[in-house]
Every structure is written in structure tokens, then in C-alpha cells.
């Protein structure tokens, strides 16, 4: 391990889960070298540090057979700094992964020896098939129910795999990285499209594809998704689980390939990434055409997360990522994590009395909302609602599509601000169906009732029961808690009854 700085002091963890043991992945790609340090090794990974250095290791490798010395020097300079970062952050385990540039370069092995010298850990040069496998697992780690084709576009190669029922059934690598395409096409995006189409014909994954869904991974495709969001005035700029129609994306790709210099918002894309966009667009256009895909999803999670996911125990891998990350946020920010568990039982019992049947996805969202329902308590009372909405809607929670983010945002807005709120969650309502928006508002109103009863303290809610028949529901209070029938509680119960269109009364048990 690098000795670091004289007299250095390691960082004291603050604001992170107690006893967590940080894990890091140094990802040596053909376009950039990136270090990501995660709080600890779980299904739901939380980045503590995430930084990249653009080194273009893949530039010219196909022509010369070696990584250019200038680019090697840039990469090693960044890696020296990253070695210090992992030391200061007390990282317990470091994983070093290298991809196509290092794999193909004649001087790749010597470069990896230098990396090991600075990092103190030997690295693993992934085969193309391994890249495809871990990319597929990365998608699965963030989208547990995804089925379709996964593509990971790097600087030197494109990895494709089929993912079905939690298993990647076929994987491959193709010489279609964006830097390689720039080199092979002599910086002609139009020519790169023809090259991409020709090389994609060799794909076994795309041949006879039986799915209409393609999931795109990689920095250039994330930039493409960001551009699409800006041009369509999409209500959030989160890339993970962003979904678009293939025909709409194809139109944007064709404009980029043909060099439309008036493309709106292009100047807001990182300059180094914007230069690669036409080549990434060329590859994606070819994939959509070859595979006949109808919808495109984007994933921010890929090889790094997939590599760590593969090293989890079965029990850890089977954990729901949304509930796991929501539970951690609850533990860090709420007054009582135990009370959040009480809320899950309270809301579930009310829905049961109402005769409501939940799907698995609805249950997970309800439980997540309960876990997140007190994360704003430290804020000023006039801003707790907005702060909570923003923390949920724009957080790094995974296992959550954009409609789910809108659902949780609306639930928390109602929980804090009531049914007549005017909050930022309304901008996300277009992502949620009318049926689920109604359900989110009912759940938020149920939480208002619960907090009026419990004051965010545990042990009380489990003593309350609900009885129901058709549209008539009764809340049953134990005799020793009859004093809870306050004007505030009656007001909130009335709001819940009106929204759910039911008769809701309180009775005291003997």
C-alpha cells in the first residue's frame, strides 16, 4: 500500500452506518480510470467517494498494439492519488478491474504491475465474457426484475448479454468501443455507423432476440440519456432506470450521427463526453435496428456493482435493494427505526381491513415509505416536507424506477403537508399512474393518522387494531388509550375517510 503523506491521519467516519467496512473498486477502463468507495459491501451499495480521471488508455491501441506512454502516465498519476484516498478512508477491501485497453495492449501487463505497486493489491484483467457477465449482474443489482438484453459500451469494446429470470444466459464482446470507433472511422461519425452495423451482424446475443427491452450501460450512453431528458423537459435528471421509447431515441441518435450542430442542450454535456456522443449514438442506433427493440432503459450500475454483487452470499443477494437502502436511511435519519417497523404493520392492517390486496411491488413501496417517513424531522417545520420529498425523489436509492420515486415523493409530501400540499412532488406526478397516485396519497394520509397517534414513538401502534367490512372501517383503541381520541386525530381520520371514500370510526375495546 502507498505510504501516503507524512503524518497523515485517517478520516473518522461521520454520518455513515456504525461498524461499516468500506469496500472500493478501481475500474481501469479504456476511456477513464475511476475509483468508487462504497460505505460497505451490501446489496444496496452507497458510494462514499466516486471520482474519475479521463486517461483514454484505449486511444490507438488497435493501431499500435500498446497504450500510449502519455496516457499511461496520466492513469498512474490518478492512481497514486486514489491509493491515498483508499488509505485515508480506511478501505478494508480493494478490487482492481481492468478492461479491454489493458487486455489488448502489449504493455498492459507492465502497467498492471505498476498499479499493484501503488495500490498494494493485484488487479484482475477481465475477459470480454467476464465484462458482459458482471455488467448484467450490475443491472440486476439495481433492477431486480429486469429481463432483456444488456449492453455495456466502453471506450474499447461493447459487451452484450441476455438477462432472464435473474440469470445472464449468453454474453459476448465486440470491437465497438467509442474510442475505437473514433480511431477506426478517422473521426467520421457517419462512417462509424456503417462500421457498427457491420460488426453488430456478428452478435449472437442480438440474433433472434426475443425481447423488446434493451438496457444501456456506460458513460457515453448516460450522457445520451441526459441529453434526451433535457430536450424532452423530463421532470428529473436521474439516469438509473430511465426509460424511453426506442423510436424517440433513434431520432436523437440519427441527428447526432449526421452532425446536427444546433442540437439543443449539447453544450451542457461534459466536453470530453460530448465528443464521444455521436459514436455512442451510432452504436445504439445499430443495436436498436438489429435487435428490434421497442424500449430502452438506462442503468448507472454496471461492471463494478456486478462484480461486488457476485461476491455476496445468497441471503445478501436476495435482499430487496430498495428496502435495504431505505432501512439504512431510516437508521441514520429517523427518530426511531422501530417506529418505522410499527408503521409497516399499522398501514398493512388498515389496508387489510379495507379489503385492499397489494402486489409485491406495492407492498415494497409501502414499506419503503414507512421506513422513510421520518427522515425530515430535524428540518425546520416549514420545510420538512420539501426536504423529505427531495431526499427521496432525487436520492441514490436503487431498486426503484421513476414511477416509484414519484410515488414515494407524493406519499411523503402528503405525510408532512397534507392532501392540499403545493410541493415539488407535483412535478413528478406525470410519472405516476392515476391509480398509484391515489394510493400514494392514501398512504400519506394514513401516515398522518399514525403520527398523530404515536408522536413517532414505538410500541403504541401495534396495540391498535382495525376491523372492516366493505366500506366501513373501525379503529379499535384499547381502553387504557381511549384518551388518544383528540381533535387532531379526528381531523386526520376524517381526511383519510374522505380520500378513501369510506366510513371510518373509532371504538374503544372493553
Q: What are the extents of the domains in the chain?
A: 23-125, 129-307, 321-463
3-state secondary structure of 98: strand
CATH code matching the domain that covers 321-463, chosen among 3.40.50.720, 1.10.3210.10, 3.30.1180.10, 3.40.605.10? 1.10.3210.10
Contacts 24+ apart (CB under 8 A), 234-240: 235/427, 235/428, 235/430, 235/431, 236/393, 236/394, 236/402, 236/405, 236/428, 236/431, 238/394, 238/402, 238/405, 239/298, 239/299, 239/300, 240/142, 240/298, 240/299, 240/300, 240/301, 240/398
3-state secondary structure of 314: helix
User: How far is Cα 79 from Cα 204, in angstroms, rounded to an integer?
Assistant: 36
- Read off the C-alpha cell for 47: 458510494
Please count the helices (runs of H) and the strands (runs of E) in the chain: 20, 14
Q: Scanning the structure block, which residue is given the C-alpha cell 502507498?
A: 2
User: How far is Cα 184 from Cα 179, in angstroms, rounded to an integer?
Assistant: 9
- Read off the C-alpha cell for 359: 402486489
- How does strand 158-164 pair with strand 148-153? antiparallel
Reading phi first (left if > 0) and then psi (alpha if -120 to 50, else beta), residue 60 is in left
Q: What order do you get walking across the sheet with 503-508 strand by strand?
A: 465-469, 472-477, 503-508
- Read off the C-alpha cell for 209: 432476440
**CA pseudo-torsion sign 497, 501, 503, 507:** negative
**321-463 shares the fold of 23-125:** no
What is the length of the chain? 510
Find out whether 239 and 223 touch, Cβ atoms under 8 Å: no
The tens place of each residue's pLDDT in the chain, 510 residues long, gives 444 444 444 444 445 555 578 999 999 999 999 999 999 999 999 999 999 999 999 999 989 999 999 999 999 999 999 999 999 999 999 999 999 999 999 999 999 999 999 999 999 999 999 999 999 999 999 999 999 999 999 999 999 999 988 888 789 999 999 999 999 999 999 999 999 999 999 999 999 788 999 999 999 999 999 999 999 999 999 999 999 999 999 999 999 999 876 788 888 888 878 899 999 999 999 999 999 999 999 999 999 999 999 999 999 999 999 999 999 999 999 999 999 999 999 999 999 999 999 999 999 999 999 999 999 999 898 888 899 998 888 888 999 999 999 999 999 999 999 998 887 778 888 999 999 999 999 999 999 999 999 999 999 999 999 999 878 999 999 999 999 999 999 999 999 999 999 999 999 997
Q: pLDDT value at position 218?
A: 95
* CATH number, domain 23-125: 3.30.420.40
User: How far is Cα 455 from Cα 481, in angstroms, rounded to an integer?
Assistant: 14
Which residues lie below 8 Å from residue 433, measured CB to CB, with a gap of 6+?
Answer: 403
Single pTM value for the model: 0.91
User: Which helix (DSSP H) or strand (DSSP E) does residue 52 occupy?
Assistant: strand 47-54
Q: pLDDT value at position 498?
A: 96
Compute how many other C-beta atoms are within 10 angstroms of the C-beta atom of residue 3.
Answer: 10
Which residues lie below 8 Å from residue 428, measured CB to CB, with a gap of 6+?
Answer: 235, 236, 393, 402, 405, 406, 409, 410
Query: What homologous superfamily does CATH list for 129-307?
Result: Exopolyphosphatase. Domain 2 (3.30.420.150)
Output DSSP code: residue 7. Answer: T
User: How far is Cα 504 from Cα 475, in angstroms, rounded to an integer?
Assistant: 7
User: How far is Cα 510 from Cα 471, in angstroms, rounded to an integer?
Assistant: 24
Find out whether 414 and 302 touch, Cβ atoms under 8 Å: no
Find out whether 453 and 484 touch, Cβ atoms under 8 Å: yes
Output DSSP code: residue 209. Answer: -
Amino acid at each position: 500500500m502507498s505510504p501516503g503523506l507524512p503524518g497523515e491521519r485517517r478520516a473518522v467516519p461521520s454520518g455513515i452506518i456504525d461498524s461499516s467496512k468500506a469496500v472500493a473498486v478501481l475500474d481501469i477502463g479504456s476511456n477513464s480510470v475511476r475509483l468508487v468507495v462504497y460505505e460497505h459491501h451490501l446489496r444496496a451499495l452507497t458510494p462514499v467517494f466516486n471520482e474519475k480521471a479521463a486517461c483514454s488508455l484505449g486511444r490507438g491501441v488497435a493501431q499500435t498494439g500498446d497504450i500510449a506512454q502519455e496516457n499511461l502516465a496520466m492513469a498512474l498519476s490518478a492512481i497514486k492519488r486514489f491509493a491515498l484516498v483508499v488509505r485515508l478512508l480506511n478501505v478494508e477491501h480493494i478490487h482492481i478491474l481492468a478492461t479491454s485497453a489493458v487486455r489488448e495492449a502489449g504493455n498492459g501487463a507492465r502497467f498492471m504491475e505498476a498499479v499493484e505497486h501503488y495500490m498494494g493489491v493485484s488487479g484482475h484483467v477481465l475477459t470480454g465474457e467476464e465484462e458482459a457477465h458482471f455488467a448484467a449482474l450490475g443491472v440486476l443489482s439495481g433492477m431486480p426484475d429486469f429481463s432483456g438484453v444488456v449492453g455495456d459500451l466502453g471506450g474499447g469494446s461493447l459487451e452484450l448479454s441476455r438477462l432472464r429470470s435473474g440469470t445472464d444466459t449468453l454474453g459476448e464482446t465486440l470491437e465497438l468501443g467509442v474510442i475505437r470507433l473514433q480511431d477506426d472511422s478517422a473521426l467520421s461519425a457517419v462512417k462509424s455507423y456503417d462500421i457498427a452495423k457491420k460488426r453488430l451482424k456478428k452478435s449472437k446475443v442480438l440474433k433472434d432476440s426475443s425481447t423488446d427491452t434493451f438496457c444501456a450501460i456506460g458513460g457515453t450512453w448516460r450522457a445520451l440519456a441526459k441529453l434526451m431528458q433535457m430536450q424532452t423537459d423530463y421532470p428529473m435528471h436521474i439516469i438509473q432506470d430511465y426509460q424511453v421509447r426506442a423510436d424517440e431515441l433513434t431520432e436523437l441518435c440519427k441527428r447526432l450521427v449526421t452532425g446536427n450542430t444546433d442540437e439543443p442542450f449539447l453544450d451542457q454535456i461534459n466536453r470530453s463526453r460530448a465528443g464521444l456522443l455521436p459514436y455512442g449514438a451510432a452504436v445504439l442506433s445499430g443495436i436498436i435496428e438489429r435487435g428490434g427493440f421497442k424500449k430502452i432503459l438506462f442503468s448507472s450500475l454496471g461492471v463494478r456493482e456486478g462484480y461486488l454483487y457476485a461476491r455476496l452470499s445468497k441471503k445478501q443477494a436476495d435482499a430487496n435493494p430498495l428496502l435495504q437502502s431505505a432501512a439504512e436511511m431510516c437508521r441514520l435519519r429517523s427518530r426511531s427505526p422501530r417506529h418505522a417497523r410499527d408503521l409497516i404493520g399499522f398501514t398493512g392492517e388498515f389496508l387489510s381491513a379495507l379489503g385492499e390486496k397489494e402486489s409485491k411491488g406495492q407492498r415494497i413501496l409501502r414499506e419503503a415509505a414507512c421506513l422513510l417517513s421520518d427522515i425530515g424531522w430535524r428540518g425546520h417545520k416549514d420545510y420538512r416536507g420539501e426536504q423529505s420529498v427531495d431526499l427521496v425523489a432525487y436520492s441514490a436509492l436503487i431498486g426503484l424506477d421513476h414511477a416509484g420515486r414519484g410515488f414515494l415523493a407524493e406519499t411523503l409530501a402528503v405525510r408532512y403537508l397534507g392532501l392540499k400540499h403545493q410541493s415539488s412532488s407535483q412535478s413528478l406526478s406525470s410519472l405516476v399512474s392515476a391509480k398509484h397516485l391515489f394510493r400514494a396519497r392514501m398512504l400519506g394520509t394514513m401516515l398522518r393518522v399514525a403520527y398523530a397517534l404515536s408522536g413517532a414513538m414505538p410500541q403504541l401502534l401495534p396495540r391498535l387494531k382495525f376491523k372492516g367490512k366493505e366500506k366501513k372501517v373501525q379503529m379499535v383503541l384499547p381502553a387504557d388509550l381511549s384518551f388518544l381520541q383528540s381533535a387532531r386525530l379526528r381531523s386526520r381520520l376524517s381526511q383519510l375517510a374522505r380520500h378513501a371514500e369510506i366510513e371510518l370510526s373509532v371504538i374503544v375495546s372493553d
